[in-house]
Homo-oligomer: A and B are copies of this chain.
Amino acid sequence: MSSSEEPRVVHPRGSGGASEVPEARMPVLADVAQLAGVSQQTVSRVVRGSGSVARRTRERVEQAIAELGYRPNVAARTLVTRRSHRIGVVAANSSLYGAATTLAGVQEAARAEGYSVSLVMLPDLSPASVQGALEELRAQYVDGAIAVVPEDASQEAVRAAEAAFPCVLAPGLDGAGVPDAYWAEVAAAREATHHLLDLGHRTVHHVAGPSDWAESRARSTGWRTALVERLRTVPPPLRGDWSAASGYAAGRRLVDLGASAVFVGNDHMAIGVLRALAEAGLSVPGDVSVVGFDDVPEAAYLSPPLTTVRQDFTEIGRRCVRVLLGRLHDHVVEPGEVTPSLVVRSSTAPPPALAADSGAPGTADATAG
A104 at the interface (CB under 8 A from B): yes
Complex CA–CA separation, A118 to B107 (angstroms): 10
Chain A residues close to B by CB (< 8 Å): 71-76, 78-79, 84, 86, 89, 93, 95, 97, 100-101, 103-104, 107-108, 111, 116-121, 123, 136, 138-141, 243-245, 247-248, 268, 271-272, 274-275, 278, 283-286, 296-298, 300-305, 346, 366-369
Q: Which of B72, B268, B300 contacts A298 (CB 8 A)?
A: B268
What's the number of copies of this chain in the assembled complex? 2
A107-B79 CB under 8 A given contacts A139-B71, A367-B303: no
Distance from A249 Cβ to chain B, minimum over Cβ atoms (Å)? 10
Q: Pick 30 A–B contacts, CB within 8 A, sort by A.
A: A71-B138, A73-B141, A74-B139, A75-B141, A89-B119, A95-B100, A95-B101, A100-B100, A107-B120, A108-B121, A111-B120, A116-B120, A117-B119, A117-B120, A244-B297, A244-B300, A244-B301, A245-B300, A271-B302, A272-B301, A274-B303, A278-B366, A283-B367, A284-B367, A285-B369, A298-B298, A303-B367, A304-B369, A366-B369, A367-B368
List B contacts of A368 (CB < 8 A): 283, 367
- The answer to whether B300 touches A278, judged by C-beta atoms less than 8 angstroms apart, is no
Complex CA–CA separation, A285 to B118 (angstroms): 45
